[in-house]
Amino acid sequence: MFGRIKLPKAEVCIDASVALKLVVDENGSAEARALWREWAGAGLRPIAPPLFVFECVSALRRMVVRGDLKEPAACLARDRLLAMPIRLPAPAGLIQLAWDLARGYERPQVYDCYYLALAELRDASLWTADRRFFNAVRRAEPRVQLLQW
């Protein structure tokens, strides 16, 4: 009997915390960009749940309001983000699984779990720079990777 050959995964899920480091210069940006290049070289396609764009654009706006980023820089970052080749699939069961994961991990909000649910449904790794989220799920979710800098 032959063993089943496990092919490398073709997709990698990224959350807003990693994507923002790709378009705004901040701590961890160099590492995020190196990782992005590594994925491209390996032929991995980045994916994120549909809420990704709204979450990223809201974070950029918050940076402007807080004074961390000037409006023109935020608009440039937004445009760079929108031009990135990130697929936004919404597979059947995404909302229910995200809800169940949020409940199971006792997360007060569901949005982080949408990324985890998508990664699970698509059998992809999930990359985050959100240490709190990573710490909340890492023991039970080996697919979740923390961007470190």
pLDDT at 45: 96
pLDDT at 149: 85
Q: pTM above the 0.75 mark?
A: yes
- Smallest CA-to-CA distance from 9 within 52, 50, 42 is with 42
**Which H/E stretch holds residue 46?**
strand 45-47
Rg over alpha carbons for the chain, rounded to the nearest Å, is 16
Average pLDDT over every residue of 103-126: 96
Average pLDDT over every residue of 31-44: 96
Q: What are the boundaries of each domain within the chain?
A: 11-146
User: Counting every residue, how long is the chain?
Assistant: 149
**Rounded CA separation 77/60 (Å):** 8
Instruction: Choose the weakest-confidence range: 2-6, 31-35, 96-100.
Output: 2-6
Mean of the per-residue pLDDT values of the chain: 94
**Which H/E stretch holds residue 17?**
helix 16-23
Assigned superfamily of 11-146: 5'-nuclease (3.40.50.1010)
Give the pair of three-digit tokens for residue 31: 């590492």
Average pLDDT over every residue of 116-142: 96
Tens-digit pLDDT profile for residues 38-88:
999 999 999 999 999 999 999 999 999 999 999 999 999 999 999 999 999
